[in-house]
Amino acid sequence: MSQPTTVDRSAGIPPDALHNDVLLRELAQLHRTRHETFLYGSEEALRRHTLRTGQLEAEFVRRFPYRQVAATRTRSGARAREAATQIASHP
């Protein structure tokens, strides 16, 4: 008789097993809790948070390699925004 198989869920559901909406919800939750975990979490909590965030972000990018990228979130967009701010501040 074989032993029953137990699943270790301490690391969460594998990212590739999550539906798209669940993946996005999990990422949003991790992003919301990052700062608090960084400031107040134990070393182990921070390590696990970092690992899980990386796993889920990698899965998101794998699924959506051609996701929309806002021009303002690029280096050139940031430089243009900074230049516009400087011009606006000098009458």
pLDDT (tens digit per residue) in 1-18: 566 666 566 778 999 999
Tens of pLDDT, residues 17-59: 999 999 999 999 999 999 999 999 999 999 999 999 999 999 9
pTM exceeds 0.75, yes or no: no
Tally of CA atoms within 13 A in the half-sphere of 81 that contains its CB: 9
Q: Could you tell me if 57 and 63 are in contact, meaning their C-beta atoms sit under 8 angstroms apart?
A: no
Picking from 91, 90, 11, the residue whose alpha carbon sits closest to that of residue 56 is: 11
Q: Which amino acid is at 91?
A: P
pLDDT tier for residue 66 given thresholds of 50, 70 and 90: very high
Domain boundaries, the chain: 12-67
Backbone angles phi and psi of 70, in degrees to 5: -70, 135
Of the candidates 23, 19, 16, 11, which has an alpha carbon nearest to the alpha carbon of residue 50?
Answer: 11
